[in-house]
Amino acid sequence: MGNISRPAAKWIYYGTIIFICIILQNMVFPRFPIWGVKGLPIVAAVVMAALFTDAWGGGIAGFLCGIICDAMMTPGNGFFALTLMLVGIAIGLSGGNYFRKTLLTSLFLTLITLSSVVVLYYLVFFGVTGKAGIQALILVGVPQILVSTAFVVPFFPFFKATHKRFKSD
């Protein structure tokens, strides 16, 4: 990596994976939805970034990814920036102490996170205002959670390999 410090190099690796997720979520899936829904791979990427780093890494990754989601998705208004930052911090804080960095753990944490984010999103923007009934959550929310969780499988090896490579940090 030449003159680049090891922590910076590690974040270049993580950043590249997150960037791919941003492209997929915001530019590819709107045109080619999977199982009839547009997945949220950014959430899966934030969960894994937090799991493999710490509260600071998870919080910052969540905050930045959330800002991008808010800017590109409507209605955003800070919802994703706040929730993904808190998710990143929570997983980063507990990751080292309570969870092993395995594929199963990543899948479990992503599923929990996505379920919370999607249900909260539905409640804040649709449920409370009465714009959509509970069937919205079942017809769109559930497939979206499942499709997005599946993104852990292809991206997990990259996070794991990067973590292994820069473990001394």
Partner 1 sequence: MKFFLRHKGVVLVSAAALLILGMAVFSFFSKDGTTPLSNAVNFLFRPLHILTDSALGRIDNTRAAMADYESLAAEYDNLYAYVAEMQEELRRSRQIIDENDRLRELLGLQKRDRKFEYISTAVIDRSLTDWSRTFLLSKGVEAGIKKDQCVISSSMYLVGIVSEVGSGWSRVTLVTDADMNAGAKIERTGQTAIAMGDWDLMRDGQLKLSYIDRESDVQNTDLVLTSGQGGIFPDDITIGSVTAIRDEPSGQGSFAVIEPKADLANLSQVFVIKSFVITE
Cα(33)–Cα(166) distance, rounded to whole angstroms? Answer: 35
Q: Which residue, 5 or 19, is less far from partner 1 as judged by CB?
A: 19
Q: Does 32 bind partner 1 (CB under 8 A)?
A: yes
CA atoms within 13 A on the CB side of 16: 8
Which one of 9, 20, 34, 82 is in contact with partner 1 (CB under 8 A)?
82
Which one of 89, 91, 117, 152 is in contact with partner 1 (CB under 8 A)?
89
Q: Does 52 bind partner 1 (CB under 8 A)?
A: no
Q: How many residues bind partner 1 (CB under 8 A)?
A: 47
Q: Which residue, 84 or 156, is less far from partner 1 as judged by CB?
A: 84
String marking each residue 107-146 x if it binds partner 1 according to CB under 8 A? --------------xx--xx----xxx-xx--xx---x--
Q: Does 74 bind partner 1 (CB under 8 A)?
A: yes
Query: Which residues, 6+ apart, have CB-to-CB distance to 30 below 8 Å?
Result: 38
Cα(164)–Cα(145) distance, rounded to whole angstroms? Answer: 28
Q: Enter the DSSP assignment of 124.
A: I
Which one of 17, 38, 48, 159 is in contact with partner 1 (CB under 8 A)?
38
Which one of 48, 85, 87, 117 is in contact with partner 1 (CB under 8 A)?
85
Q: Does 78 bind partner 1 (CB under 8 A)?
A: yes
Cα(64)–Cα(154) distance, rounded to whole angstroms? Answer: 22
Burial of 92 (0-12, 13-18, 19+ CB in 10 A): buried
Which one of 9, 20, 73, 119 is in contact with partner 1 (CB under 8 A)?
73
Question: Shortest gap between Cβ of 107 and partner 1 (angstroms)?
Answer: 22
Q: Are 44 and 25 in contact (CB under 8 A)?
A: no
Q: Does 61 bind partner 1 (CB under 8 A)?
A: no
CA atoms within 13 A on the CB side of 54: 4
